[in-house]
Structure 1
Amino acid sequence: MSSLDFPQVTVIDHPLVQHKLTIMRDKSTSTAGFRQLLREIAMLLCYEATRDLTLEMVEIETPLMPMRAPMLSGKKLVFAPILRAGEGLLDGMLDLVPAARVAHVGLYRDPKTLSAVEYYFKAPDDMGDRRVIVLDPMLATANSAIAAVDRLKEAGSTDMRFVCLLAAPEGIDNFHGHHPEVPIVTAAIDEALNDHGYIVPGLGDAGDRMFGTK
């Protein structure tokens, strides 16, 4: 399945992204290896999520001569990881944009209803003046993603992107049913959700694999 079926979704099919994702899917990949790959792939996803940031021309001097050169202008960035698995994407994003601010959205999925339950929220005061990139490795049912974007909108966010490793078609439809204006950047759209709300073929529970828990 490709992004052609979902106009608001960008699938990063770069060979390095797909190579790293395949290693992450492999159940024999260690916790340390999974964590490192998640950090690396986050940087590559960040390039796409920030592709349309505004540039302005500024005056600088190289060692040889003065020149006009492009620098970022306009809205600054906030990375908003959905705890706990979203933290795995945060480090790679901050490697690329160390000046970005961070909002934390603490949610867990109720195992019976699969609905999102909030337990923590902390964000900068000027959310309306910044582009917010919401981070979670998996877009499965999308209940957590929807709840996170709802909460960020309450905090003033008006310009958002959602970045994930894997997305399920059901999750994309559910997410864009609630937030059609928020683009999704992902490394792959998998086949479906199973009866437990997990993406298949997927890569398992990203949080458990990243932190070595079950």
Structure 2
Amino acid sequence: MTQHLTVVEHPLIQHKLTIMRDQATSTAVFRQLLREISQLLAYEITRDLPLTTTRIDTPIQPMDAPKLAGRKLALISILRAGNGLLDGMLELIPSARVGFVGLYRDEETLEPVEYYFKVPDLMSERVVIAVDPMLATGNSSAAAIQKLKDAGAKDIRFLCLLAAPEGVERMKQAHPDVPIVTAALDERLNEKGYIVPGLGDAGDRMFGTK
């Protein structure tokens, strides 16, 4: 992938996202829609994965058929909200290896604080897709990507549900080599660092917490 930011404007994604934005949408529906959108976004972010061929026998005759090349993908959830995207992507890519980066945002400084990190081995040989529903200030995402690079990852992509211009710019400055795929680029951040118009706190809406 060469483009730094890709906004996937597929009608199904935009329709589902509108329902998710609505504050009247229930936790159960929000969670299901996030799973569905994650699969549609995964289709876009994996469109240029390398292929090789393998010899198979169809019911009619032998053929050289395409299959994914190289090591299994690594899907990295930026906790906790990243798990909502992770679940749907694993249905689409069940053989992927999975890792977790635990970060929370200090509400005073808006800076990320790490509390957990565990990723697959051989990161340098895998396509790595980091997932987090919200790219707001970009501080947590940039910190998570740096941790993945420190663990050896070279081919990293970032998938999110919503992005703010400030977060996109922060990521571009910190990691210009990491393409971003999202369902929407919203207007801005408010004074509390939330995306506007956004959909609130994705983790709270997904897990039913406040």
Q: TM-score, normalised by structure 2?
A: 0.97
Superposed displacement of residue 76, structure 1? 2.5
Deviates more, 1:69-78 or 1:145-154: 69-78
Q: Deviations over 1:76-108 (max 9, x none)?
A: 310001000000000111000001001100000
User: What is the CA–CA distance in structure 1 between the aligned matches of 2:35 and 2:184, rounded to whole Å?
Assistant: 17
Task: Indicate whether 1:51 and 2:47 are aligned.
Answer: yes
Corresponding residue for 2:132? Answer: 136
Read off the aligned partner of 1:139 and give its amino acid letter. Answer: L
Corresponding residue for 1:84? Answer: 80
Identity %: 67
Read off the aligned partner of 1:205 and give its amino acid letter. Answer: D
Q: Runs in 1 of length 4+ with deviation above 3 angstroms?
A: none
Q: Structure 2 matches for 1:53-132, cutoff 5 A? A: 53-132=49-128
Corresponding residue for 1:4? Answer: none
Corresponding residue for 2:19? Answer: 23
Task: Indicate whether 1:196 and 2:209 are aligned.
Answer: no
5+ long unaligned stretches in structure 2:
none
Q: Structure 2 matches for 1:172-187, cutoff 5 A? A: 172-187=168-183
Secondary structure, in 3 states, of the residue corresponding to 1:21? helix
User: What is the CA–CA distance in structure 1 between the aligned matches of 2:19 and 2:71, rounded to whole Å?
Assistant: 35
Superposed displacement of residue 75, structure 1? 4.0
Corresponding residue for 1:36? Answer: 32
Superposed displacement of residue 68, structure 1? 1.8
User: What is the CA–CA distance in structure 2 between the aligned matches of 1:206 and 1:24, rounded to whole Å?
Assistant: 10
Q: Equivalent of 1:207, from 192, 203, 210?
A: 203
Corresponding residue for 1:146? Answer: 142
Corresponding residue for 1:164? Answer: 160
User: What is the CA–CA distance in structure 2 between the aligned matches of 1:174 and 1:75, rounded to whole Å?
Assistant: 30
- State how many pairs are aligned: 208
Q: TM-score, normalised by structure 1?
A: 0.95
Secondary structure, in 3 states, of the residue corresponding to 2:65? strand
Q: Deviations over 1:127-151 (max 9, x none)?
A: 1111110000000000110110011
Read off the aligned partner of 2:85 and give its amino acid letter. Answer: L
Q: Deviations over 1:166-214 (max 9, x none)?
A: 0000110011110011000000000000000000000000000000001
User: What is the CA–CA distance in structure 2 between the aligned matches of 1:121 and 1:59, rounded to whole Å?
Assistant: 39
Aligned residues: CA RMSD: 0.8
User: What is the CA–CA distance in structure 2 between the aligned matches of 1:213 and 1:57, rounded to whole Å?
Assistant: 47
